[in-house]
Amino acid sequence: MSTPLEVIFKNYTAELNKAASDDNIQLALFRAVKSYRDNTRSALERFPHTVQLAEEVLEIKKESIKRMDELVAQARESIEANNGKTYFAKTRDDALKLASDIIGTGKIVVKGKSILGEELEVREHLIEKGNEVWESDLGEFILQLRHDRPMHIVSPSIHVPREQVAKVFTEFFGRPIEPDIAKEVAAVKEFLRNKYFTADFGMSGANVVAADTGAIVIIENEGNVRICTGVPPVHVALVGIEKVVPTFQEAMKVAEVTWRYANYTVPGYINIISGPSKTGDIEKVTTYGAHGPGEFHVIFVDNGRTKMAQEDLFRQGLYCLRCGGCMYECPVFQQVAGYFGYRYLGGIGAIWTAFVAGGLENAAPLVYTCLRCGRCVERCPVGIDVPSMIIELRRKIVAVGYSA
Amino acid sequence: MAVNEIRSKYFRLPQTVEVIRSNIIKYGNPLALTGPEVASWAKGLDLPTQGDVLFYTGGEYQLIPFIDSLVQTMLKMDQGSRSFSVMMGLRNLMDKAGISAEKLYASVLAKDRERFSLIPYKAAAVLKELGLDFCYLGEEEIYSGALLYEFGFWNDLERHAEKVASLIKNTGAQTIVCLSPHAAEIFKLVYPKLVEGFEIEVKTFVEAVSELAENNAGGLPCGFSGKVVVHDACRMARELEITEEIREILARMNAVTVLEAEQNRRWTTCCGGPSKVLFPEISSQIACQRAHELEETGADLVLTFCPYCMASVDKGIRDTKKDIRLEDFIEFLYRGIA
């Protein structure tokens, strides 16, 4: 007879094997890994200071996680002082309740890509509450239409080739869309334009937050986040509490290392948002909501991060910048993409699954999928030692299952 | 029911893990090979059981052909849930699936069995030729327990390590030379935390050869001329930081040209071996990918430095019909001597 954990393993393995024999995934990953390595190599050649900057960022992250509670409190004060509103969610349920209390029902929401959003499944939750929610990142938009889940944290629809995109778009837009990438992009642009200007809320995540100024920094290339956070009358940001660093200068360092190891010399856009839109042009009277949002809400989410910070070995998991470099280097990921994952993907995803989204039982198959080969550590800008954390999680799993 | 009982009822790992665990505990070997099966290579060599340097096989090269045979047998037997039934271990397999161990033995091709069981012999011959005297535990030798560590069974490992450490201690050796980098890793990095007073100097076969070669002014005998590519083993390159020793040894061989894979040294690609037990399909695909990377270099011969790498990459080469041959470094060095 199978135990529940064996059933989880069995279902997971079936998915994994299916992915491994999917030619689309194989081809897409093969191309993606090659261009990731080429791009990162040339980005680091053009900006060689990045390697040393990454060492500085590791020290910044160490210090920030040590002072996580204090920095979150300071960031909240700063944002409030900028006339934004802040909230603290201990759990996933708290975060979802806060978001839906702000947004309500019957509203249109346009959303930028957020890994925390995936962790919380916030889109699904808001739709369930009777809202119309649109992912505006092209990759996420494709996945939303396919009812699919992200296969990479930076390039979520890495596994969907243009022919399949054309098929999904043709069905959704109700007119023929050719498998021509430029035309596919144009179709989404046209559709979302309308949504941006009718939306009640714009939603985003954040790559890093500066405690001293309350600035949240969002790196992007498409320009969708710029519109999502700039056009609708209200901006709601979801932020993991591990994202806060002491100063604005340090936030910039974290951001630069993040995008460079995500294979960009420089991203198309770096958004820095510290409060609602305002003007004092008429009689020096400050008025909010000049061109951009009149309200700025930031929800800080714990959901297991504090527990992770309390464990000496696992604390380093919170240093993750989400550049996604480790995934391209992972031999398993290269075969099956995000099927080696739950809400969070790859080896580092196994750690986050255990602590933040999924629990030890859903983490277990991931924990045992990791080869512990260690190449992710070579790539990681902050040298996160995933193999050591994996072996400790295996010990924990055995301690739970075999203690009787 | 006590909380612990409930938990363990619902939180068990797939059977294969359990089987390997109990094989190691009961038989001292992940596939339940017996002492005579592991030590047959040394018959007639009259190696002493005590000495300054201990030659340690851990039975790992010897068990390789049986792993593949088991995987093949189970793949044929049970298509539906094959991921969970491979590698049950000979003795346990007999109990649980009604396959006789003898049949499985018989299904291992004689040439494969011979190739792998000869590797410890060849390693011993190479070290002898380079002037090293050593002792060997013979039929007493048991597996290091590295897989207990890998799978998370630390309590079992602690007990097992006591046994292994006491066998090692009885040899009086100050240095242990390990054929498998996994054994070297666990002796070097894990045993000192588990076994009080475990202070033996740990070397991989490559390190031993590298040191002996340095003392041998005459250079190294080599029975090969052509282009080779090194497949660095993950644990050896990253945990044990052994990469240059290999290149230095090869540089002493005039007829050998070393080509480098794009992913090499600390950036080496895993052979897929570690997931063979739970995810054999993925494991085999990773091996094929690595075979591809190695073939791309244009080398004639791949060199491996670990039993699991040897088995996985060799199979990857066969599965993808790549035009490249593979030898373990031990076989490669032995050619020059034989």
Across residues B94-112, what is the average pLDDT?
A: 57
Co-location of B180 and B249 in the same domain: no
- Binned at pLDDT 50, 70 and 90, residue B104 comes out as low
Co-location of A366 and A285 in the same domain: no
CA dist., res. A375 & res. A161, Å (int): 27
Tell whether A1 is within 8 A of chain B (Cβ): no
Q: Quick one: tokens of A181? A: 């990438």
Co-location of B190 and B258 in the same domain: no
pLDDT in tens, B17-72: 887 898 899 989 988 888 888 999 999 899 999 999 999 999 999 988 887 776 66
Q: B184, B208, B232: which is the final residue of a domain?
A: B208
pLDDT in tens, A312-348: 999 999 999 999 999 999 999 999 999 999 999 999 9
Neighboring chain B residues of A378 at a CB cutoff of 8 Å: 238, 266-267
Co-location of A127 and A105 in the same domain: yes
Partner-chain contact B8 A373, CB within 8 Å:
no
The count of domains in chain A is 2
CA dist., res. B304 & res. B313, Å (int): 8
Co-location of B193 and B96 in the same domain: yes
Co-location of A350 and A384 in the same domain: yes
CATH number for A98: 3.40.50.10420
Work out the mean pLDDT of chain B and round it to a whole number.
87
Q: If you measure CA to CA, which chain B residue comes closest to A5?
A: B11
Co-location of A240 and A333 in the same domain: no
Residue A308, in any domain of the structure: no
CA dist., res. A69 & res. A38, Å (int): 39
Q: What was the pLDDT predicted at B81? A: 46
Co-location of B65 and B153 in the same domain: yes
A246 DSSP assignment: S
- How many contacts (CB atoms, under 8 Å) link A and B? 129
Beta strands in A126-251 (DSSP E): 132-135, 201-204, 208-210, 216-220, 234-240, 244-245
Output B100 or A188, whichever has higher pLDDT: A188
Q: If you measure CA to CA, which chain B residue comes closest to A6?
A: B14
Across residues B173-181, what is the average pLDDT?
A: 98
User: Which residues, at least 6 apart from A31, have a Cβ–Cβ distance to it below 8 Å?
Assistant: none
Co-location of A26 and A133 in the same domain: no
Work out the mean pLDDT of chain A and round it to a whole number.
96
Tell whether A375 is within 8 A of chain B (Cβ): yes
CA dist., res. B209 & res. B336, Å (int): 13
Torsion of CA A283, A284, A285, A289, to 10 degrees: 110
Co-location of B185 and B290 in the same domain: no
CA dist., res. B276 & res. B74, Å (int): 13
| A268-297 b/e (C-beta count within 10 Å ≥ 16 → b) | eebbebbbbbbeeeeeeeeeeeeebbebbb
Co-location of A241 and A153 in the same domain: yes
The count of domains in chain B is 2
CA dist., res. A290 & res. A280, Å (int): 9
Q: If you measure CA to CA, which chain A residue comes closest to B273?
A: A371
- Binned at pLDDT 50, 70 and 90, residue B14 comes out as confident
Q: What was the pLDDT predicted at A301? A: 98
Complete DSSP assignment for A199-224: -SEEEE--SEEETTT--EEEEESSSH
Co-location of A263 and A326 in the same domain: no
Q: Which residues pair with B243 in a beta bridge?
A: none
Neighboring chain B residues of A400 at a CB cutoff of 8 Å: 7-8, 11
Beta-strand relationship, A278-279 and A287-288 = antiparallel
Co-location of B197 and B75 in the same domain: yes
User: Interface pTM (ipTM) of the complex?
Assistant: 0.94
Co-location of B228 and B174 in the same domain: no
Q: What was the pLDDT predicted at B101? A: 53
Evaluate if residue B255 carries a pLDDT over 70: yes
The closest of B123, B143, B119 to B314, measured between CA atoms, is: B119
Chain B contact residues (CB < 8 Å to A): 2, 4-5, 7-15, 17, 81, 83-84, 149-154, 234, 238-239, 266-270, 272, 274-275, 278-279, 281-282, 285-286, 289-290
- Binned at pLDDT 50, 70 and 90, residue B337 comes out as confident
- Binned at pLDDT 50, 70 and 90, residue B185 comes out as very high
Binned average pLDDT, 10 residues per bin, chain A of 404 residues: 78 93 87 94 98 98 98 98 98 98 98 97 98 97 93 83 94 97 97 97 98 98 98 98 98 98 97 98 96 98 98 98 96 96 96 96 96 98 98 95 72
Q: A285, A303, A321: which is the final residue of a domain?
A: A303
User: Which residues, at least 6 apart from B74, have a Cβ–Cβ distance to it below 8 Å?
Assistant: B82, B85, B86, B87, B88
Q: What was the pLDDT predicted at A372? A: 98
Q: What was the pLDDT predicted at B15? A: 76
**Residue A383, number of CB atoms within 10 A of its CB:** 14
CB–CB of B273/B311 below 8 Å?
A: yes
Q: Quick one: tokens of B195? A: 């076994």
Residue A19, in any domain of the structure: yes
Grouping H, G, I as helix, E, B as strand and the rest as coil, residue A273 is: strand
Evaluate if residue B92 carries a pLDDT over 60: no
Domain assignment of residue A356, given as a range? 4-46+313-401
- Amino acid, res. A47: F
